[in-house]
């Protein structure tokens, strides 16, 4: 699957975001090596610490379906620049060794980064080399 297709799926996931507090909707699409795609959106909660980001929603959905490796992850939000994952998402991306992360905004700007660029010196037990 090419980057543009993965970004389009992340945009579709973004449409389902539950963001009554921030109004900042994010969508993500995690691509498994076998071609399956798992979508995620951010889901807020009045107790803000219980909010879940789009990236973790997509990855956790994949893990619940038995997938623990990923070829790529696309993240889409509406901002002047592509949205970068939060620290918690960066740690999950490192744990599941997502090598290619495509950050995009609705205006078409994008940046492709690696997990090492997002989180140098990540804490991991190297379960997924």
Contact 115, 99 (CB under 8 A): yes
Q: Which of 4, 55, 95, 99 is catalytic?
A: 55
Burial of 107 from C-beta contacts in 10 A (0-12 / 13-18 / 19+): exposed
**Residue 10 marked as a ligand binder:** no
On whether 42 is known to bind a ligand per the annotation, the reply is: yes
Query: Is 105 part of any known ligand binding site?
Result: no
Residue 46 counted as an annotated binding residue? yes
Integer Cα distance of 39 and 49 in angstroms: 22
Task: Tell me whether residue 53 is annotated as binding.
Answer: yes
Question: Does 48 carry a binding-site annotation?
Answer: yes
Q: Is 95 in the active site?
A: no
Question: Locate tokens 């956790």: which residue?
Answer: 60
Burial of 72 (0-12, 13-18, 19+ CB in 10 A): buried
Write out the binding residues for substrate: 42-48
Write out the binding residues for Zn(2+): 53, 86, 89
> Active-site positions?
55
Write out the binding residues: 42-48, 53, 86, 89
């Amino acid at each position: 699957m090419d980057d543009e297709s993965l970004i389009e799926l992340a945009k579709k996931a973004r449409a389902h975001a539950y963001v009554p507090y921030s109004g900042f909707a994010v969508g993500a699409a995690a691509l498994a090596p076998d071609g399956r795609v798992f979508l995620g959106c951010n889901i807020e909660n009045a107790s803000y610490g219980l909010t879940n980001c789009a990236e973790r929603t997509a990855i956790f959905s994949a893990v619940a379906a038995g997938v623990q490796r990923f070829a790529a992850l696309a993240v889409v939000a509406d901002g002047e620049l592509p949205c970068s994952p939060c620290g918690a998402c960066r740690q999950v991306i490192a744990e599941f060794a997502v090598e290619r992360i495509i950050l995009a905004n609705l205006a078409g700007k994008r940046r492709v980064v690696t997990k090492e660029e997002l989180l140098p010196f990540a804490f991991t037990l190297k379960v997924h080399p």
